[in-house]
Amino acid sequence: MSERRNRPIGGGHRQGMVAGEKAKNFKGTIIKLIKYMRPYRLQLIFVLILAIISTIFNIVAPKILGNATTTLAEGLVAKYSQTGGIDFIKIKNILLTLIVIYIISASFNYFQSFLMTGITQKVTYNLRKEISEKINRLPLKYFDKQTHGEVLSRITNDVDTVSQSLSQSIQQIFTSIITIVGVLYMMISISWQLTLMALVVVPISGILAALIVKNSQKYFKAQQDTLGNVNGHIEEMYGGHIVMKAFNGEEKSIKEFKNLNVKLYDASWKAQFFSGMMMPLTSFVGNVGYVGVCVLGGYLVIHKGLAIGDIQAFIQYVRSFNQPITQTAQIMNILQSTAAAAERVFEFLEEDDELADTTTPISIRNEDNSLNIKGNVKFDHVVFGYNPEDIIIHDFSADIKAGSQVAIVGPTGAGKTTIVKLLMRFYELNSGAIYIDGIKTTDLTKHDLRDCFGMVLQDAWLRSGTIMDNIRYGNTEATDEEVIKAADEAYVDHFIRTLEDGYNTEINEESTNISQGQKQLLTIARAFLSDPKVLILDEATSSVDTRTEILIQKGMENLMKGRTSFVIAHRLSTIKNADMILVMNHGDIVEVGTHTELLKKNGFYATLYNSQFDEALI
């Protein structure tokens, strides 16, 4: 296994979930969402009360308007029969009452929407907060199997889908249920015959909605899955666009993106097609019932003396009755998308955390919170494999005294970088133990353990922000003077002062506005500021020019003074003065000694060194 477990460009598709499969537990996912809303149950109850009041006023309005129509019709009949006239005062009072009702209904509806938006945004905030915290608890092996874009898709696309769906669906569910019950009551109070006619079409609408929901769920699930793959590919290509261009990978990248985009298009249009079928089908069935009501209503007016205003009100109620049924069908469709997105979020949140800290940790801190360790490190028969069936470190033992400079050398894939990952408990051992000052690393909290170390890696990582902020990342409580002192000790202060904005120079997102060597010097300054007891220097000079390498070497020599240091290097000429050299091959230590001792043995180290020396002469 290679030491740097990077994915090849264009790879890294999400594993473990087959695109197009249905939600594993639709009901369970919705229940989990409801639990997230439980802290806001009082607000939800208030939303329900507001929905009831608003809907009741809306339901009463057609009946009142029907009274105005009946009054107008009766007045016209009386006028033409010369027995009376139109009572405009009564009609005016009815219309004024209607205006007040509509204003009250709209006001309550507005407050209902305001509260519901607040609730859904709080739920969204909590979901994102939990995802952010979860990312920091996940073991590194999880990220070995996931693209960055896939993880980002959970935080952005999936959570946004849940947020928008909740905001729409919960409010509509409340309103629709209340409307159906209230309108049904009003319809029956006008005419049970007309109500029966209107209800005939309801089962047909329900059956059609159920069929559509059943067939659309798998496509909504596929849409969310493929969207994550597309995001992962874009993020990967953008992150490695220089390498991709250097190897003429544009065509391959475009081809792969096209394949992913086709899958997304296929899943999306099917999901939207089935979703779009819901409204026209249910509307068509509703219109059939509407025609039946009109015919029967005319008969009842002529033969049963039903008031014409009641017919008008009833027709409005039929419309009002069909609308929440259609909305309920749409809500079910929305909930499919919600469940598909929420399931992916919950799957992420339910991933196994890295092994928890011991409940009885040993403290290595003084009263002032500083670390009280010397820096002795011991590896005791360490066995490790990224997969249990693929062991790469078979039996690794070493006893390193505080202040020693230890070099770890070996060919690519020998396990050099893996050793330091185990030292910091980024991965858990299969067997054996690692000790710091005689204390098992598993008996320390991860926070205390990792506070013991400072790292300067081959891939120098800097965050967006000023140079001052990036160096201060090693110790967030450091003063400006301490930051500048650390930069001076790392031989990067002169370079920083040549910049127009000095320490306030902004480093862009990809850190492309400074060179690789300058980035390395900044990471050395950052390590200086953290003042660690144990240093890890991983290929820190592997990709810089000779002049910058000399500066980096000087900076690292300053940094290593009085500290236990693990130096991983391919250039064996840089570690001649190491107190101990651990020579690794295939995960095992094959030789131990100083540079001079190992050359005298004329073994594996001598072969490595001489091969590099021969290359230098060519």
Q: pLDDT digit string (tens) for 436-489? A: 999 999 999 988 888 888 888 777 778 888 889 989 988 888 899 999 988 888
Tell me what pLDDT residue 7 has: 34
Question: What is the b/e burial string over 134-160, where b = at least 16 CB atoms within 10 angstroms of the residue's CB?
Answer: beeebbeebeeebbebbbebbbebbbe
Q: Are residues 162 and 300 located together in one domain of the fold?
A: yes
Residue 371: which region, alpha, beta or left (left: phi > 0; alpha: psi -120 to 50)?
beta
What tokens were used for 329? 């069908």
The mean of the pLDDT values for the chain is 79
Tell me what pLDDT residue 131 has: 86
Instruction: Please report which helix (H) or strand (E) contains residue 69, including its range.
Output: helix 41-80
Residue 616 maps to which CATH number? 3.40.50.300
**Distance, CA of 429 to CA of 359 (rounded, Å):** 19
Q: Are residues 208 and 344 located together in one domain of the fold?
A: yes
Q: 355-370: per-residue pLDDT in tens?
A: 888 888 898 888 878 7
| CB-based contact 264:237 (threshold 8 Å) | no
Tell me what pLDDT residue 439 has: 92
Residue 98 maps to which CATH number? 1.20.1560.10
Q: 307-331: per-residue pLDDT in tens?
A: 777 777 887 787 777 677 667 766 7
In the structure, what pLDDT confidence band is assigned to residue 236 with cuts at 50, 70 and 90? confident
69-93 mean pLDDT: 74
Sole residue written with tokens 């008008």? 312
Whether 520 is covered by a domain: the verdict is: no
65-80 mean pLDDT: 74
Whether 8 is covered by a domain: the verdict is: no
Q: Are residues 344 and 382 located together in one domain of the fold?
A: no
Q: Are residues 343 and 384 located together in one domain of the fold?
A: no
Q: 168-196: per-residue pLDDT in tens?
A: 777 778 788 888 888 888 888 888 888 88
Whether 357 is covered by a domain: the verdict is: no
533-548 mean pLDDT: 70
Amino acid (one-letter) located at 80 = Y
Q: Are residues 121 and 259 located together in one domain of the fold?
A: yes
Tell me what pLDDT residue 19 has: 35
Q: Residue 17: pLDDT above 50?
A: no
Q: Residue 410: pLDDT above 90?
A: no
Q: Residue 434: pLDDT above 90?
A: yes
592 pairs with which residues across the strands? 582
440 pairs with which residues across the strands? 435
How do 377-384 and 393-400 pair as beta strands?
Answer: antiparallel
426-430 mean pLDDT: 88
**Distance, CA of 591 to CA of 81 (rounded, Å):** 119
Whether 522 is covered by a domain: the verdict is: no
Tell me what pLDDT residue 297 has: 77
Residues whose CB is less than 8 angstroms from the CB of residue 216 and which lie 6 or more positions away in sequence, other chains included: 270, 271, 274, 275, 333, 336
Tell me what pLDDT residue 242 has: 67
Q: Residue 433: pLDDT above 90?
A: yes
Q: Are residues 238 and 382 located together in one domain of the fold?
A: no
How do 580-585 and 405-409 pair as beta strands?
Answer: parallel
Whether 422 is covered by a domain: the verdict is: yes
Task: Give the gyration radius of the chain's Cα atoms.
Answer: 36
Q: Are residues 299 and 438 located together in one domain of the fold?
A: no
Q: 27-36: per-residue pLDDT in tens?
A: 788 888 888 8
Tell me what pLDDT residue 436 has: 92
- In this prediction the pTM is 0.61
Of the residues 315, 349, 383, the one at which a domain ends: 349
Tell me which of 379 and 588 has the higher pLDDT.
379
Tell me what pLDDT residue 23 has: 54
Q: Are residues 411 and 309 located together in one domain of the fold?
A: no
- Tally of domains within the chain: 2
User: 202-239 vs 308-349: helix axis angle to the nearest 10?
Assistant: 40
| CB-based contact 554:564 (threshold 8 Å) | no
> How many whole angstroms from its chain centre is CA 265?
22
DSSP 158: I
Q: Are residues 90 and 157 located together in one domain of the fold?
A: yes
Amino acid (one-letter) located at 243 = V
How many Cβ atoms sit within 10 Å of the Cβ of residue 53? 18
Q: Are residues 250 and 393 located together in one domain of the fold?
A: no
Q: 124-169: per-residue pLDDT in tens?
A: 888 888 888 888 888 877 877 776 767 777 777 888 888 877 777 7
Whether 327 is covered by a domain: the verdict is: yes
Q: Are residues 328 and 395 located together in one domain of the fold?
A: no
Whether 469 is covered by a domain: the verdict is: no
Q: Are residues 110 and 250 located together in one domain of the fold?
A: yes
Whether 101 is covered by a domain: the verdict is: yes
Q: 385-409: per-residue pLDDT in tens?
A: 887 777 878 888 888 889 888 888 8
Residues spanned by the domain of 129: 26-349
Tell me what pLDDT residue 484 has: 92
Tell me what pLDDT residue 512 has: 67
Q: 501-512: per-residue pLDDT in tens?
A: 889 988 876 666
| Residues across the chain | 618
DSSP 434: E
Q: 591-603: per-residue pLDDT in tens?
A: 888 888 999 998 8
